[in-house]
Structure 1
């Protein structure tokens, strides 16, 4: 039996939708932080089942999407050097830099760019190729930071001299705080990313929730998880409460993963970070602390001659508004026209967690697809059959 089957049952979905309809008495605007949650909401058609008055907006929870163009440009410049092997996760290869080119374009032109599934693969490559400079392009939230920290620690312990790390890790809690503090904020409650909280713990979000008096519900990625998170959030709002709740107890604990947190703290230190299309958020990034700073790719000489440091996105791209939850992808004049997954203008159309990609694959564009919304159709069928019974 699929262990996730209980969290996908149409009857459980319909029951939670009914409870949501009973719980809500006025309009509320909630944000799901993680791009994986956005994709799940649209893929399963949950957005069509929500009661009137409950609005979901999509957060900046896609680390690929918020990696600044200057960092992409640095990766491009390094990858273009003779004798350099640049390693990264697959999504990063298609994100355009300031001049519109991507790492995938450079690889097609002959640069040595490799896709890895683990940061430790980069250390293995560095050992196999001692005469070449290996650069690992590290991105992600706190979920992938422990693996990068382990790479840095092992590379430092073994005295690796030909491995460098281009670090683009970001922290989600400071970004949530910056969104709430914005004068344009519309968020009244959060669905927090369950995988981040599995590492960092739900306790990390308690100061934020208390300061702004907003509900923050740690939520998973299956239909029942998401609807349970929405229900708990709405119930708090209806009662005038604002606290952290954990609706993802099978994976998240209040203290998180102590070993992973300790490793992150040992290798990294917080730093103010530019988020693509959003601006600088205080203490929202991670950088290598001594002695691991010796591995920082920033220490490699900058030989940039071709990659200009330009705007964060194409002029027609409204990714900044999308990442703040101020506009939906379909509001972009380029969406589905000049911006597609095959020819993206902005990172949210590239990443597997990007909101624009979610709408392209599962949103309004896919309404006519017979297979687009299996759980929505099943739940609606269940509802109709219930009404048909005497």
Structure 2
């Protein structure tokens, strides 16, 4: 559908007003390239601020914290678009000074050196869609029961501040920075406060990232990096847990691995999740992390001698992992988000995560990351893991078991 251009009133007494060509009731803004509001319609002032004077403010001031980067990029893309009828569209959470936030769509078109923007409140449409689906669709009903992702993000940010203070106080008490605690129980309690605070902080971080992934707002920050030091760091992060479990942790990293574009934080989360799962479900033996280059890609492999998974469990991978195994072999719990997030983060990198396993025979996890030397090579290269990938994994497991049975018989 063609996107109709905006028409701004330019009379001397109306230069700060903006109108949609179809009428004056629509919420319309004229924006500078950096997002500064140059003019606004009556409808825009009603939607955003009531009596608030919008001129001179930035549209970014009224965007939810997690949406600002995406809105800034949309402004930039719209400025680069020379087609008058091609609008850059974005849905985001609009913050209003005198009312609650609303789910809003903004359509941006270039207007000379500035931008024209049309805002549409999509909240009623979203509520109506959810209501219509909720009566007949159990999955939609479950979605309705979940907290809003934007609310989760805001709640998470609010919780991180007091948790940081609690952990800081616990650290000071553990170090007896202001004198001895006096009783061993106090020291024990300080350790427990710090440990549980750290666990809660990890849960919040997982919750925030999951909310961003579900909302399509998780953004990678890739840089040209060497995979070898990153892999060693991941192994050291898990080594203490492996040693406490009585497991050997082996690290095998090939020499002269090429640098590649990756988000170190996201890749670290993938590998540490795989290593933690391996430790969690291995009663005795070893966990091995190997890194090598193969066919123009970096292959991170985590191999364990643990309990393994059935074909049914493998087929359900990508769901929350603890729905299959709530506790590890030592009763270790988890958030249920780890492996599911690892799949999503691997796909965002244009890579793929595959697991092969069989009951009693351990699990092998392969995270394959294509070697790319620039951001341009990463664009649009996402790979997804679909039913065909899962079936190929099951075929490999079945073949492995047939070969093993044959060797044992011989």
TM-score (norm 2): 0.20
TM-score (norm 1): 0.20
Query: Which of these two proteins has the greater Rg computed from alpha carbons?
Result: 2
